[in-house]
Amino acid sequence: MNRPQFRAIEGTRDYFGPEGDRFDKALSLAAELFRNYGYARVRTPVFEGTDLFARSIGAATDIVEKEMYTFSPGSDSLTLRPEGTAGAVRAYLQHGMDKQNGLVKLWYEGPMFRRERPQKGRQRQFHQIGVEAIGSPDPLLDAEIVSLGLRYYERVGIAGVGLRLNSIGCRKEECRPRYRRLLQEAIRPNLGRFCKNCQARFERNVLRTLDCKIPQCRELAQSLPKSHENLCPECAEHFAAAGEALLALGAPFVLDPTLVRGLDYYARTVFEFTHPALGAQNAIGGGGRYDGLVEELGGEATPAIGFALGVERILIAMEAAGTCACSIPLQVFGATRGKAAHRAMAGLAARLRAAGLSADLDYQGRSLKAQLRLANRRNAMCCLILGDDELERGEITVKDMAEGGGQATVSLFDCLEKIREILPCG
């Protein structure tokens, strides 16, 4: 009989084994570190009204034009979230967090969805870890956020992360709108030499010409006017202060005039983290200020800044760095011979787990020898050996699985104490 072969959809992944462990580690370290910096967790739905994304990310962006998973179950148009900022700001407004009269710091993690061409480090369902600090224009906050991202990579064991920084100015006439016109004037005489995509975006989204990946466009972009040299005085001052504060925090950066980011809500500071293990998709995270977004979504004018880090790309860099490559070791494995001993071991494992230890046993009727092999494969730190005869005498053997570790037969009552002697930090 032919069995159906079900496979994960192209651009989606299963996580298990050592990679699954790395995933867990990436998330648990984020929860710990972000709490240290005063961020509270927010969980928002994986789908929202399509308008929310069109309004925040921008109708003329690749994400909204080509990459969203949009469906209409009735008269509504819904979209699987392609990123987390829009939902976080929607929740901020919906639940009156804007009335708290202060800086609101939120963090999130979860799956995001973009219909991009899958390749190494680029998926259609991917995961982000992100922070959003809503309510302050202080350039010191820009520096704190960027250095938080760098701290995070350090904590998960990723070295060699690069930092690119730029400012794309604000919406004031003399700032970005004027710069946009300058760019168009500079490009217009050579428009035919740019790629089709850049030509199509010339009127609607000319800034993206700067970060086009086509070599010919990159070369032409070199001589175009730079946004950081065309900021209004307030944005220029803000950018200088953010850069100084970053250097004071020990975070060297590369000023990259071609960094404009692919989402329309950005204003002023924008940044990207890069890693050499990633190849073409080398952005391991990115973010920036989005001072106009809260207002765009119906709130008061509120400055804000945040970032999102791509978990898949973090996992690639962690693997390259050899971080957490083996499974998390099991503390206790219980091996048995005989039915009564097997039953007793199931009860003992439950008590060990209740005492906070990780414990497991065989449920497939393996021989004692095979169970010991399994304990080794599971990287158990300590192995209990119990036969029906020992059980009758009220005894159990506790074996230290470290190289050269000994074993001792103790009373069943003393077994937890013996285990604690063997485990590092008891």
Q: Is 130 in the site for ligand HAM (CB under 6 A)?
A: yes
Q: Choose between 135 and 288: whose C-beta lies nearer to ligand HAM.
A: 288
C-alpha 130/C-alpha 110 separation (Å) is 9
The half-sphere exposure of 337 on its side-chain side, counting CA atoms within 13 A, is: 11
Q: Choose between 288 and 334: whose C-beta lies nearer to ligand HAM.
A: 288
Q: Choose between 39 and 126: whose C-beta lies nearer to ligand HAM.
A: 126
Q: Is 287 in the site for ligand HAM (CB under 6 A)?
A: yes
Counting DSSP H helices and E strands in the chain, the numbers are 15, 16
> CA torsion sign, 370 to 375 to 379 to 385?
negative
The half-sphere exposure of 216 on its side-chain side, counting CA atoms within 13 A, is: 9
Q: Choose between 301 and 354: whose C-beta lies nearer to ligand HAM.
A: 301
SS3 333: strand
Per-residue x/- track, 79-118, ligand HAM (CB under 6 A): ----xxx----------------------------x-x--
Q: Choose between 84 and 303: whose C-beta lies nearer to ligand HAM.
A: 84
> CA torsion sign, 261 to 207 to 195 to 58?
positive
Going by C-alpha positions, the residue among 411, 271, 419 that lies closest to residue 332 is: 419
CB of 361 to ligand HAM, least distance (A): 39
CB of 194 to ligand HAM, least distance (A): 23
Residue nearest to ligand HAM (CB): 310
- Going by C-beta distance under 8 Å and a sequence separation of 6 or more, which residues neighbour residue 355? 416
Residue type, 421: E
Q: Choose between 20 and 225: whose C-beta lies nearer to ligand HAM.
A: 20
Residue 106, H or E segment:
strand 104-113
Stretch of 175-183, 307-315, 374-382, 383-391 lying at the interface with ligand HAM (CB under 6 A): 307-315
Number of residues that bind ligand HAM (CB under 6 A): 27
Q: Is 284 in the site for ligand HAM (CB under 6 A)?
A: yes
Residue type, 178: R
- Tell me which of 58, 286, 292, 387 binds ligand HAM, using CB under 6 A: 286
Q: Is 291 in the site for ligand HAM (CB under 6 A)?
A: no
Residue type, 238: H
Q: Is 169 in the site for ligand HAM (CB under 6 A)?
A: no
Residue 95 pairs with which residues in a beta bridge?
none
* DSSP-derived pairing of the beta strands 125-134 and 283-289: unpaired
- Tell me which of 19, 48, 109, 132 binds ligand HAM, using CB under 6 A: 132
Q: Are 164 and 260 in contact (CB under 8 A)?
A: no
Q: If you compute the radius of gyration of the chain from its CA atoms, what whole number of angstroms results?
A: 27
Stretch of 13-21, 182-190, 279-287, 328-336 lying at the interface with ligand HAM (CB under 6 A): 279-287
Structure tokens at 322: 């050899």
* DSSP-derived pairing of the beta strands 407-411 and 395-400: antiparallel
Q: Choose between 165 and 263: whose C-beta lies nearer to ligand HAM.
A: 263
Q: Is 122 in the site for ligand HAM (CB under 6 A)?
A: yes
Q: Is 149 in the site for ligand HAM (CB under 6 A)?
A: no
C-alpha 9/C-alpha 11 separation (Å) is 6
Q: Is 288 in the site for ligand HAM (CB under 6 A)?
A: yes
Structure tokens at 200: 């199509």
Return the residues of window 184-203 that contact ligand HAM according to CB under 6 A.
none
CB of 286 to ligand HAM, least distance (A): 4
Residue type, 132: E
CB of 288 to ligand HAM, least distance (A): 6
| Number of residues assigned to the chain | 426
Q: Choose between 22 and 114: whose C-beta lies nearer to ligand HAM.
A: 114
C-alpha 282/C-alpha 310 separation (Å) is 11
Return the residues of window 312-351 that contact ligand HAM according to CB under 6 A.
312-313
Q: Is 307 in the site for ligand HAM (CB under 6 A)?
A: yes
Contacts with ligand HAM, residue ranges (CB under 6 A): 83-85, 114, 116, 121-123, 126, 128, 130, 132, 262-263, 283-288, 290, 306-308, 310, 312-313
